[in-house]
């Protein structure tokens, strides 16, 4: 199968069968690009996640764009991005149409209540996967804990925390 078609189909499936947004897609993206196709190794994937996180936009779309570019250049990034976005566009259009007719239906409400814990589990799985592949030493643990405290507890802007983590990387490594 030509690589562009393979990229489109792979990212279309990721977009179609992932629930909970960008972070919840990360374990599925990891599985497809590292283990199913072997397009990237774990270090390359983590590097792409880092770039995707610090650039503007949703992490799953940024990841698809960067991965597509790494695999097949500009056309690869275009088809990967379209592939990951298209299912959401289709589904959201259908949901809007259907929910406008059933917006007060208890079954629909129960379905969404059941999906919420699924999303939390997928995000936790992504966190554990990224954690296992990035925390290599005590310096990385220190930076991670510091950034967590700054963002979650002290409510410091994440962009400033990215700069602080980069500066600490220069100093500590």
Give me the pLDDT at residue 70, please: 96
- Rounded to an integer, what distance in angstroms lies between the CA atom of residue 4 and that of residue 12? 12
Question: For residue 113, what are its two tokens?
Answer: 């209540």
Closest CA to 83 of 98, 99, 97, 63: 63
Give me the pLDDT at residue 101, please: 80
pLDDT of 52-72, one tens digit each?
988 888 898 999 999 999 999
Tally helices (H) and strands (E) across the chain.
7, 0
DSSP 2-34: -HHHHHHHHHHHHHHH--SSHHHHHHHHHIIII
pLDDT of 32-51, one tens digit each?
999 999 999 999 999 999 89
Q: Does residue 91 have a pLDDT over 90?
A: no
* Contact (Cβ atoms closer than 8 angstroms) between residue 150 and residue 161: yes
Question: For residue 71, what are its two tokens?
Answer: 């695999």
Global confidence as pTM:
0.62
């Amino acid at each position: 199968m030509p690589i562009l078609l393979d990229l489109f189909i792979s990212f279309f499936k990721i977009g179609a069968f992932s629930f909970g947004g960008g972070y919840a897609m990360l374990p599925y993206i990891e599985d497809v690009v590292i283990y199913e196709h072997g397009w990237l190794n774990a270090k390359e994937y983590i590097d792409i996640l880092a770039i995707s996180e610090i650039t503007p936009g949703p992490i799953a779309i940024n990841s698809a764009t960067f991965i597509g570019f790494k695999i097949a250049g500009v056309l690869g990034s275009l088809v990967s991005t379209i592939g990951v976005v298209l299912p959401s566009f289709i589904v959201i259009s259908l949901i809007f149409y259907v929910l406008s007719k059933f917006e007060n239906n208890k079954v629909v409400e129960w379905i969404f209540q059941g999906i919420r814990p699924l999303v939390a589990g997928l995000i936790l799985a992504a966190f554990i996967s990224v954690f296992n592949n990035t925390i290599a030493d005590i310096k990385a643990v220190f930076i991670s804990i510091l950034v967590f405290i700054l963002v979650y507890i002290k409510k410091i802007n994440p962009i400033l925390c990215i700069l602080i983590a980069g500066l600490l990387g220069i100093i500590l490594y």
